[in-house]
A = this chain, B = another copy of it.
Amino acid sequence: MRTASAGPEIERLMALLAKLPGLGPRSARRAALHLLGKRDSLMRPLAEALGDAADKIGACSECGNLDVTNPCAVCASPGRQPAALCVVETVGDLWALERAGAFKGRYHVLGGVLSALDGVRPDDLNIAKLIERAARDEIVEIVLALNATVDGQTTAHYLADKLAPTGVSVTSLARGVPVGGELDYLDDGTLAAAFRSRAAV
């Protein structure tokens, strides 16, 4: 898209903004103009916050959560119940469950789900580490909090098979999650209710 007189600096800025989820080319243009109008109150602080977060935030080597510390604050917290792990697809899902306050154990972020269509195989996901964690003495229950999509449920069955030898109880969220729904879009009450009525896989 030609923007006439704006020059390569703003073209580049708009092209990068347009790569954010939820922003297309038009809204990226509006965002760029908005930023240029709030240079000191928004544009420079955002540049700094992006660089700062890129430098300081990393994946927890234990669970895959994003945090400034490794292990992350959840893994390091002595207040979390040691007997339960909750398996989620993404860090966004972990945050959604934390907001719902539904779970007091620790998490395991898979980094996606198995998908024939997208070519995602078990080795592409954070599964080996999950099996390792599940085999630890203190773990009694593993809650599979995967999206209620075909790929999510396929992955849940795959994990249930893989976890069977460890002897831990493998549960999944109750069918309060709408079919085809994504955890990150659910209200906290629904998410908490689905957590409470979780059942054996």
Inside 8 A of A65's CB, which chain B residues have their CB? 5
- Does A74 sit at the interface, judged by CB under 8 A? yes
Residues of A within 8 A of B (CB): 1-7, 9-10, 12-13, 16-17, 19-23, 26-27, 29-36, 38-39, 42-54, 56-57, 65-69, 72-74, 90-92, 94-95, 98-99, 184
Verify B99–A5 contact, CB threshold 8 A.
no
- Specify which chain B residues have a CB less than 8 angstroms from the CB of A32 in the assembled complex: 53
In the complex the two chains form, is B50's CB within 8 Å of A54's CB?
no
> Quick one: copies of this chain in the complex?
2
Binding site secondary structure of chain A: helix
Task: Decide: B99 and A4 in contact? CB cutoff 8 A.
Answer: yes
Q: A1-B99, A43-B50 are in contact. List 7 more A-B contacts (CB 8 A).
A: A2-B98, A4-B73, A4-B98, A5-B72, A19-B38, A20-B34, A30-B184
- Chain B neighbourhood of A92, CB < 8 A: 29-30, 33
Interface pairs (14), CB distance under 8 Å: A3-B99, A4-B74, A5-B65, A9-B52, A17-B20, A21-B30, A23-B31, A26-B184, A29-B95, A33-B66, A33-B90, A35-B53, A36-B91, A39-B54
Which of B22, B29, B43, B45 is close to A30, meaning CB atoms less than 8 Å apart?
A: B22
